[in-house]
């Protein structure tokens, strides 16, 4: 199959990443990594006087790394898109783990019935294996995002920069080879990222996409529970996380969800780059939050 002809006007180009949120993310990463490096020396220095204080310093240094790594929507390490700006009842449906030779055609059919658009965050190895399904997604007016090449969900968060770059670049190449269009969106496996992810994405003009509503359809089969969980978090501008493939019932969950939200007056759109948002209005800077956390949690240095 050859590349798909794409109207250049429809291709969203990467926007500059040197904005306030990205700079804040760099400062947070620097602050966390600085503290991780100096924490053992501080612990040794004060350990002879207060073992509790020393242990607390080491524990805090680990927490400052693990919390933003394992919390998918944490902004500490850099901006994670969690919603988009809109004044009407619109949501962004994102579907992970495809393409799938069985589920993808079914999902495309139901999206066409409801005139809904979606973004499929795909695995590079599956794009290479199911080129026809990946191409059909774009032909029907939807978009593709990068969900890593092999989806190493248990290990991605602890990979070094070289391995993370391989996962991103191989998937990008697979998408480009099939569609002729580069993607500017990345979603980490299971949403977990580490301090290396944002610099690598910045260098590629890409953005990290999270979510604001999910039903845990990756681990649950009961569609009513999945859809109810998603709908309780729905509001205009929400980003919905759904999945395809592997587990039975995922397509049914997506169909029930699209039907229910359509009946409630919502439309399913793919927002422009300029509409994507990483934090709610009025939310403070993460560098200040981390600095305050370090100051608040650390006990006073013991007197000698």
Report the catalytic residues: 96, 243
Sign of CA dihedral 261, 262, 266, 271: positive
Give the integer Cα–Cα distance in Å for 275 and 15. 11
Give the integer Cα–Cα distance in Å for 239 and 162. 30
H helical segments located in 144-222: 161-179, 197-203
Neighbour tally for 296: CB within 10 Å: 7
Cβ proximity of 241 and 226 under 8 Å: no
What is the β-pairing status of strands 238-243 and 213-214?
A: parallel
Give the integer Cα–Cα distance in Å for 76 and 30. 11
Residue 243: strand pairing partners: 96
DSSP code at position 217: T
CB burial of residue 9 (10 Å; 0-12, 13-18, 19+): exposed
């Amino acid at each position: 199959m050859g590349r798909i002809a794409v109207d250049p006007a429809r291709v969203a180009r990467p926007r500059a990443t040197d904005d306030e949120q990205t700079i804040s993310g760099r400062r947070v990463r620097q602050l966390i990594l600085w503290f991780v490096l100096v924490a053992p020396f501080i612990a040794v220095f004060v350990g002879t006087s207060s073992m509790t204080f020393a242990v607390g310093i080491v524990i805090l240094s680990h927490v400052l790394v693990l919390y933003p790594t394992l919390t998918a929507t944490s902004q500490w390490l850099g901006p994670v898109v969690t919603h988009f700006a809109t004044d009407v009842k619109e949501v962004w449906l994102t579907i992970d783990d495809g393409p799938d030779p069985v589920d993808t055609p079914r999902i495309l059919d139901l999206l066409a019935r409801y005139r809904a658009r979606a973004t499929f965050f795909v695995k590079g190895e599956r794009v290479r294996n199911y080129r026809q399904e990946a191409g059909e997604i774009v032909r029907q007016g939807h978009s593709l995002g990068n969900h890593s090449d092999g989806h190493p969900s248990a290990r991605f968060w602890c990979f070094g920069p070289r391995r993370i770059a391989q996962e991103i670049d191989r998937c990008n190449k697979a998408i480009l080879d099939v569609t002729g269009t580069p993607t500017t969106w990345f979603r980490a496996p299971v949403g977990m990222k580490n301090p290396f992810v944002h610099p690598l994405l910045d260098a590629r003009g890409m953005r990290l996409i999270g979510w604001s509503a999910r039903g845990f359809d990756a681990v649950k089969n009961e569609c009513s529970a999945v859809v109810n969980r998603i709908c309780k978090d729905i509001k205009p501008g929400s980003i919905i996380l759904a999945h395809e493939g592997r587990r039975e019932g995922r397509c049914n969950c997506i169909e029930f969800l699209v039907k229910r939200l359509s009946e409630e007056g919502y439309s399913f759109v793919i927002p422009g780059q300029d509409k994507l948002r990483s934090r709610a209005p009025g939310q403070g800077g993460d560098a200040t939050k981390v600095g305050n956390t370090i100051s608040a949690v650390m006990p006073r240095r013991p007197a000698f």
